[in-house]
């Protein structure tokens, strides 16, 4: 799985090593961190572009993120696509949660799913919320899910 920095620079080492190095660097600078993981997707013809982000929030000092992009040619309903986004976020969170616990970094998983029943994505809300919470992660949906609805969204546009 290839990850990049926001600058476009490819991360050469395993993402867990890059995350640990980032946490250590930020702690040495005196920054308190929170990590938010989210995925968004965009259908373009017969291909769905996915972007998963790991957002590092520095308390009162901005943020930075790492990005992974992939594509799928599988035709999906809106509900399937929303749950595919959540699956990617959970896989990333699961791979990092022990490290984040070790450094006492709070973690949230953000889903690009609207809490308003008037929106199509809402049909996946209960399954996504149950999935994320059952894995032991803090769950955020729109409008609080900025990692997916703002950060990852900018990558797939």
CATH code where residue 26 lies: 3.30.420
pLDDT in tens, 2-43: 999 999 999 999 999 999 999 999 999 999 999 999 999 999
What's the whole-number mean pLDDT along residues 45-57? 97
Domain count, the chain: 1
Residue 1 has pLDDT above 90, yes or no: no
What's the whole-number mean pLDDT along residues 87-104? 97
Confidence class of residue 126 from pLDDT cuts 50, 70 and 90? confident
Q: Give the residues across from 142 on adjacent strands.
A: 114
* Range of lowest pLDDT (15-24, 77-86, 87-96): 77-86
Looking at the chain, the whole-number percentage of residues with pLDDT higher than 90 is: 83
Q: Give the residues across from 42 on adjacent strands.
A: 49
pLDDT of the residue at 118: 86
Residue 90 has pLDDT above 90, yes or no: yes
Return d(Cα 89, Cα 152) in angstroms, integer. Answer: 11
Q: 24-27 contacts: CB < 8 A, separation 24 or more?
A: 26/56, 26/58, 27/103
Domain that holds residue 78: 4-156
Average pLDDT over the chain reads 94
């Amino acid at each position: 799985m290839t990850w990049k920095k926001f600058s476009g620079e490819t991360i050469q080492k395993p993402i867990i090593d890059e995350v640990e190095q980032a946490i250590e660097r930020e702690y040495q600078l005196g920054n308190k961190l929170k990590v938010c993981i989210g995925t968004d997707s965009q259908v373009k013809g017969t291909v769905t572009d996915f972007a998963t982000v790991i957002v590092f929030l520095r308390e009162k000092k901005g943020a930075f993120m790492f990005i992974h992009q992939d594509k799928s040619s599988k035709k999906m309903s809106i509900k399937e696509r929303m749950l595919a986004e959540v699956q990617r976020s959970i896989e990333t969170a699961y791979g990092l949660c022990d490290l984040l616990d070790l450094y006492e970094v709070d973690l949230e998983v953000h889903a690009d799913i609207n809490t308003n029943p008037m929106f199509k994505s809402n049909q996946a809300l209960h399954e996504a919320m149950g999935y994320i919470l059952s894995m032991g992660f803090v769950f955020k949906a729109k409008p609080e899910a900025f990692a997916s609805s703002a950060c990852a969204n900018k990558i797939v546009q």
